[in-house]
Structure formats: structure tokens, C-alpha cells
Amino acid sequence: MSVLVVGSIALDDVKTPAAEHKDLLGGSASYAAVAASFYGPVRLVGVVGEDFPPEHRALFNARQIDVEGLEIVPGKTFRWSGEYEENLNNRKTLSIALNVFEKFEPKLPAKWKQTEFILLGNIAPSLQLQVLKQVEHPKFIIADTMDLWINLAKADLLELLKKIDMLILNDSEVKLLTGENNLIRAGRAVLKLGPKYVIVKKGEHGALLFGAKTGEFFSTSAVPLEDIHDPTGAGDCFAGAFVGSLAQLGDTSFASLKKAVIQGTLVASFNVEEFSLRRLEKLTREEIAARETAFMQSLSIV
């Protein structure tokens, strides 16, 4: 089954203690779409300027991502620049230029409106709501968010939460949204706001999955890594692989959601091994399967 991914597409300048690279492919939709493509067809909705490098578009084509919903308009592509500190957990934004993304209004091709699995990438809740007005009979809707929208667009976000099946956010964001300092209480508090499921990402410490039904809870660690080059986009890769895996399974039971969490964890672990999407560009399904075997063995007590 196809997955619809809507979000930002950007050109990033990223600096870490080890290296610095410019004009990298970035944006929530870019990372999520490529991650989802390991599991099935992906439909990408976003906007770029006339300066968008052809090699980045070629990556979408190589991953067989349908870009009919990708608008190319006069102007410059959304740009972001950031720098990571030594431990890579702390990042500061150096500059942002929204450019053509400032006036982005998601438009779905008519034949895409019945896509069953929807991922609303990390963009303004008002834009996420615009997408929901266009889709018809979706099977499962996932939205990602961030502290910016919790602080500046909370009313829209709360409206969105009543219309989606799952919210994905990180540990600091769930505390900010709910006012709860305990992650378990915070995750369950989000469920009371509308979504049937919530995933709380904990970075190098794994992820928590909450369900609205009694007893629906799942926790996993992250894949242990010694060499991390660039954490940018890891959360978006998690979300993309999650929805891609779920669509491949064709089932939204809690058991399938748990399997999809593992796939999101695996693909995100590969993404951080190189800058931008360079690692995923050459990643194979066989490598994912091999890492899954090793990871699941590390979780087993038998």
C-alpha cells in the first residue's frame, strides 16, 4: 500500500565536531519519504525552489518515490543551518530562510486523495489540517510535531490531535505539551487529547509506544552505536520507516505497531552513520534485516 508523506524539503548546512557540509538534502519530508521507501511505494508532497539540485531529485527517483506532488516554484528552496556540540545531543540553529516554503500550501493530486496511510511531517499544524481536508477515507494518519508548534500554534495542534490516529514527538516535547514531567504520565495524557496512539522518541534511549486501550504499552531501546556522524533527520527517518512498515503490513493492530516501531528504530540508526541521507542512499533491505536480527537478539533474554 502507498504512503503519503507531506512536509518540508530543504537544503541544509550542518556542522558537527567532526566535519562540516553544505547544501545537503534535508527537511522532514525528504528524510521520511526515503525511509518509508524501503517498505513500499511513497507519494511525496512538498515545495522547492528553482535552485533545488538535480542530484537530490535523482535520489527520490532512485528510491521510486512518486514526486507528482512536488512543486517547483520560482524562488529559493527552504534553507537551514545548524551546529552540533560535542555530545551531539545539543544543537543550535544558526540560520533559517523559509524562502518558497513560507507560502507552501499542500496540494494533493486527485488520485492521491484516497491514499490509506498518511504521514504529516513536522510542519505547522495549520498545514497538516489542510492535508486532512483533502484526504478521503484514510486508514491511518500519523502526525509529527515539535516544540515550536506547541509554543506558537497550540490551538491548531489540539484541533489536529482530535483528527489523527497517532502523534509522534520527543521526550521534551511531550512534557511541554502536557505539563507532565514523568514520561509515562505525559504519554497517557496525550491520549486524552484525541489520538489513539502516541510514540515518544527518546533519542539514543529508544522509544515508548502508548495505546488508548488498557494495557497497550511498548518500550524499546535504541540500536547501540559507537560512531554517530550526523543526527539530523533521525526522528523523521523513524517516522517514515514506521509508516512504511505499517503500510507494508497492511494492518494497524497494536502488534503491528510494535513491529513498525522496531523498523523505525533500525532505519534511524543507519541514518545517523553519515551526513544527510548519504547512508540511506546506499542502504539495502538486506542490511536492515541483518541489523534487525542482531538487535532482536540483544533484546531477548532467552
3-state secondary structure string, the chain?
CCEEEECCCEEEEEECCCCEEEEEEECHHHHHHHHHCCCCCEEEEEEEECCCCHHHHHHHHHCCEEEEEEEEECCCCCEEEEEECCCCCCEEEEEEECHHHHHCCCCCCHHHCCCCEEEECCCCHHHHHHHHCCCCCCCEEEEECCHHHHHHCHHHHHHHHCCCCEEEEEHHHHHHHHCCCCHHHHHHHHHCCCCCEEEEECHHHCEEEEECCCCCEEEECCCCCCCCCCCCCHHHHHHHHHHHHHHHHCCCCHHHHHHHHHHHHHHHHHHCCCCCCHHHHHCCHHHHHHHHHHHHHHHCCC
Could you list the residue range(s) of the whole structural domain that residue 262 is in?
3-299
Average pLDDT over residues 186-214: 96
pLDDT at 255 over 90: yes
**Each residue's pLDDT tens digit, 218-231:** 999 999 998 899 99
pLDDT at 302 over 80: no
Q: How far apart are CA 84 and CA 1, in angstroms?
A: 37
Reading phi first (left if > 0) and then psi (alpha if -120 to 50, else beta), residue 300 is in: beta
Whole-number pLDDT of residue 125: 97
Average pLDDT over residues 259-263: 98
What CATH number is associated with residue 15?
3.40.1190.20
Average pLDDT over residues 250-255: 96
Kindly indicate the confidence band of residue 98, based on its pLDDT and cuts at 50, 70 and 90.
very high
The count of structural domains within the chain is 1
**Each residue's pLDDT tens digit, 135-188:** 999 999 999 999 999 999 999 999 999 999 999 999 999 999 999 999 999 999
Average pLDDT over residues 52-71: 96
Q: Minimal CA–CA distance to 37: which of 280, 296, 291, 286?
A: 280
Grid coordinates representing 225 are: 552505536
Instruction: Give the rounded percent of residues in the chain with a pLDDT score beyond 70.
Output: 100
Q: CA-based angle 265:160:169, to the nearest 5? A: 25
Average pLDDT over residues 265-275: 97
Whole-number pLDDT of residue 87: 83
Average model confidence (pLDDT) across the chain? 96
